[in-house]
Amino acid sequence: MKIYNSHYYSTATRRRRRRRINNSFRNSNSVKREEEEEKTRKDSILPLLEMPDDEHGDEKRKIFVRDLRDACSSVGFFYLKPSRKMFSTEKEIFELANAFFALPIEEKMRIDYANSAQFRGYVSLGLENTKGKIDAREQIEFGVHRKEIDKVTNFYERLVGPNQYPSQIFEQTIGAFIEEMDAISRQLTKYLALSLDQNENYFDDMFVDPNMQMKICKYPPVSEPSTGFGVGKHTDSGFFSILLQDDVGGLQIAVDDQKQEWIDAFPVDGYFVVNIGEMLEMISNSNYRATPHRVLSPKDRPRISVPYFWNPRLDFVAKELIKTEVSNDDDNKLINVYGENAFKSLARSHPKVFGKHHPDLIVKSDGTMEFK
């Protein structure tokens, strides 16, 4: 089945869209919204999108789908404003994060991710890397909370397992946040299907049992943020990612990877930042972009961010590909089996934990896995 309309996705068309992305904010008639968009235009080239609710009419939905298509096929990032009734845990998440990271290191290490074969739990400063370079952040990693599989059929099923929570209130708050993010993600997924000229339920089977992941991250301030990276250049391995961030800033997006041109994704009150992942890029035959991005270390005060990764079920295979494997980087082969793509990313970023829990596997130079 053809998953996109070539009228929308020719190379020339996508190039024109990238050149005129500064003028692509078309979604609102209200004075308040126009003021917000004008402020953001001055600082960033990312479009502001407001996701329609069930009560909105067909015309607003069509406009949203059109603008969503433009954003995904050009820069691969956009701001998304969900309905407030769909998202109410922002304050609690930030309070929880600040309280946890203020604990003594001994307390935080009680949920050390080195204890988890699923790479879940507390990751202390300096333990994660991007392409071999240490990331300057500490974080807590979460996934779908369930029992490990006793006998796995495929090695990526080792990613199924329990989370580590520092307290019951932490578990309850994270659970409420995940429920809200699941609802937002499923609604956005329907609109993405429509943007690819498919029925809104086209991706339902892909997310029968999604392999959701999320982090709570703290980036400590450094004296020279322009030369330090909280996270180095990378793309996300899943379908799309939704970022909740405080007002410190630091996220940067590669608008021209060859020229090393970067733009800032400044925090905008009431909006998430959303970016396309490698799975969606492959499904769309590269018409939607998994754009490289990075995080600069802050200078004056810590940065707190909460990325939520909306991922397919582990055994999902991107069958719409012309090829079974494509590459957006010489040392990062994109694998169309989601579980393999996800395991690759974790293994490379956390080599010590990978070596401790998965000694029978090795990561090849291009990122693919094989048994010893």
pLDDT greater than 90 at residue 247: yes
Amino acid at 197: D
In order of 160, 336, 342, the CA distances from 154 in angstroms are 11, 15, 13
pTM here is 0.84
For the stretch 97-124, pLDDT in tens is 999 999 999 999 999 999 999 999 999 9
For residues 18 and 212, what is the distance between their CA atoms, to the nearest angstrom? 30
CB 338 within 8 A of CB 316: yes
To the nearest whole percent, how much of the chain has pLDDT over 90?
60
For residues 184 and 79, what is the distance between their CA atoms, to the nearest angstrom? 13
Angle among Cα 311, 137, 159 to the nearest 5 degrees reads 30
Hey, which residues does 217 pair with through a beta bridge?
A: 139, 305
How many other CB atoms are there within 10 angstroms of residue 227's CB atom?
9
For the stretch 30-61, pLDDT in tens is 445 455 545 544 455 799 999 997 677 789 99
197: left (phi over 0), alpha (psi -120 to 50) or beta: left
304 against 258, higher pLDDT: 304
Query: What is the Cα Rg of the chain in Å?
Result: 20
Give the SS3 label for residue 21: helix
Domains and CATH numbers, the chain: 77-371 (2.60.120.330)
- Strand residues in the chain grouped as ranges (E): 48-50, 77-81, 121-123, 129-130, 133-134, 138-143, 213-219, 229-234, 240-245, 251-256, 261-264, 272-276, 293-296, 303-310, 325-327, 333-335, 361-363, 369-371
Which residue, 213, 189, 180, 167, is CA-closest to 91?
180
Q: How far is CA 83 from the centre of its chain?
A: 20
